[in-house]
Amino acid sequence: MTIDENFDLKGIMKNYLLSQKDVGKIVGVSRQFIGSVLSGKKSLSPEKKKVLLDYLSYNSKYELETSVDYLRIRLKTLKWFEVIEDLLLMDSNLFNIDVSSMHNYNMSMSYGSIRILRHSENIDMGTLVEFNGGGCREFEQELKDQNRTWKQFFQDCFFFSMEQKKVSNFEDLDDYLKFTRLDLATDEMYSKKGNYDLRKLYDKMLAGQIQTPFRQFSSNESFLYRDGEFISTGLSLYFGSRKSKSIYINFYEKDKEQSMARNLFVDEIHELYGYKNRYEIRLFGDKATQVIFDFWYNDIPLQNLAGQIISHYLDIKDDKGNWDIEWLDVFGSDKSYGFVNKPREVSYDRTLKWLDSSVFASLKRNMEIDRLTGSRKTMELFNEKELDEKNQHLVDSIVKQKKERAFYDNFHEMIELEYD
C-alpha cells in the first residue's frame, strides 16, 4: 500500500475493521478528529497516513502459539450424565465420584483434570464443566480422538443447549448456557535471534509509557539458591486485580518458571520445550462468552483475539510517544478488541452464515431422501412452521434496513455517475 491521492481512509477502516477510536489511537489524534476527516472537514497529513499504513503492515516477528488454558461452562440442567455423554462425547463410566466438591456445588465427578460439578437441587446452578490448564490439554486429546476441534466443541455447546431447552435459535437460550471463565494463553517461543524482554514492559509501566484502564499493576520476581548462586524464577507482571470477575492479564517468563518446575537449566527448556514468554488473559462472564462467540461464530482466530484484547487494555508507547516497535514485534499490529455491554442484535448475514455451516447440509439431505422415497414430510414440517411475533418483527426490521441500504447505494451510484 502506498501513499497517494487515492488514499481511502473509509476503505482502510472497513477492510481492517477499524473504528475511529482505533485509527486515532494509531496515528496519535482524537476520535473526533478522525470523524472530521471522514466527513471531509479535515484531512490527515502525509506523515499521519504513512504512520497508519506502516502500522497496518506490521506483523509479528516471533513464533506464537495461543491456546485455551482454562474453561468453565455452566449449563442450567441437573442431567450431568447427558452433559458428559452427549456434549463432551465421553464415557461417563470413566469418571470417578469425588469425595469433595467446590464452587458451592455439592456433587462432583472427575476424569483426570476434567471436572464435572452438579448441585443436586439448585437448577440455577445446574451443572458446571471445568477444565484447568491440564484439563484443557487432556480434553484436546479427547477432541482429537473425536475428530473435533475447540471451535466445533463450542458450536456443540450451543447446539446441545438449544436441544435441551427446545429452542431453534441460540439467541433464545437466555441464561441456560454460560461460559463463566475463559483463559487464553499465548506462548512466545524461544528464538536464537532474541525475544522480547518483559523487563522493558515493567520499566515502561513505571515511566508512564503504557496507557491502560486498569487501576492495579503489580510485579513479582523471586530467587532460588542453586549451584552456589541465586537464580531468578522469572519476572511476572500483573495488570488488573487478581480478584476481578471481569478481566485480568498476566505476563511472565515461562522459560524460567518451567526451569524451576522441572529442575532443568533454562537452555534445556529452550531446547526441549521452546518456551520463552507467556501472555495470559483471564476472562469472566459476558466477556468470556463474547470472545468464545467471536472465535466460533465470527471465525476470528484465538491468536488474533488475544492480540486485540491486549491492544485494547495496554497502549504501549516508545520514548517519543509513538507506538512501540519492539512490542509490535510480539503481536504485530491489530485493532483494539471491542467488548460490548449489551446483547447482540440478530444479524441476517450472521444467521445466514450459521445456516450455511450448520443447517443447509442436513436440510438438503432430508429433502433428497424425501425426493427418492416420494415423501413430503420435510416440506410439510417447513410449511407448518409459523413465525412468532419476535421473529416476524425481526423480518420486518431487516427487510426495511435492506431496502434503505439499496436505496442509498443506488443514490450514491447515480451521484458518482453525474460527476464522472
Could you tell me the pTM of the whole model? 0.74
386/23: higher pLDDT: 23
Q: Could you tell me the pLDDT band of residue 351, with boundaries at 50, 70 and 90?
A: low
Residue 417 has pLDDT above 50, yes or no: no
Q: What are phi and psi of 219, to 5 degrees?
A: -140, 160
Least confident window among 61-65, 316-320, 399-403? 399-403
Candidates 355, 357, 346, 360; CA nearest to 392 is 346
The residue assigned the cell 448456557 is 177
DSSP state of 125: T
**For residue 348, what pLDDT is reported?**
63
* Torsion angle of the four alpha carbons 306, 307, 309, 313, in this order, in degrees rounded to the nearest 10: 140
**What's the angle, vertex CA 289, arms to CA 356 and CA 161, rounded to 5?**
60
- Kindly give the pairing relationship between strand 107-111 and strand 217-220: unpaired
Q: Report helix, strand or coil for 224.
A: strand
**For residue 170, what pLDDT is reported?**
76
**For residue 347, what pLDDT is reported?**
59
The residue assigned the cell 522480547 is 196
pLDDT in tens, 319-346: 888 888 899 888 887 666 767 654 444 5
3-state secondary structure 138-155: HHHHHHHHCCCCHHHHHH
336/104: higher pLDDT: 104
pLDDT in tens, 138-196: 999 999 999 999 999 999 999 999 999 888 877 788 789 999 999 999 999 999 999 99
pLDDT in tens, 108-117: 999 999 999 9
Mean of all residue pLDDT scores within the chain: 85
Interval 42-60 mean pLDDT = 83
**For residue 411, what pLDDT is reported?**
41
**For residue 101, what pLDDT is reported?**
80
Q: Could you tell me the pLDDT band of residue 303, with boundaries at 50, 70 and 90?
A: very high
- For 162, the grid coordinates are 438449544
Interval 255-282 mean pLDDT = 93
- For 393, the grid coordinates are 418483527
Rg (CA), the chain: 26
**For residue 393, what pLDDT is reported?**
61
Contact (CB, 8 A) for 70 and 182: yes
d(CA 348, CA 396): 12
pLDDT > 90 fraction of the chain, expressed in percent and rounded:
45
Read off the amino acid at residue 94.
Answer: L
Instruction: Return the beta strands (E) in 303-371 as ranges.
Output: 315-316
The residue assigned the cell 518451567 is 258
Read off the amino acid at residue 43.
Answer: S
**For residue 418, what pLDDT is reported?**
40
d(CA 76, CA 123): 6
**For residue 173, what pLDDT is reported?**
80
**For residue 52, what pLDDT is reported?**
84
**For residue 342, what pLDDT is reported?**
45
**For residue 298, what pLDDT is reported?**
85
Residue 282 has pLDDT above 70, yes or no: yes
Interval 1-26 mean pLDDT = 76
Least confident window among 17-21, 74-78, 90-94, 156-160? 17-21
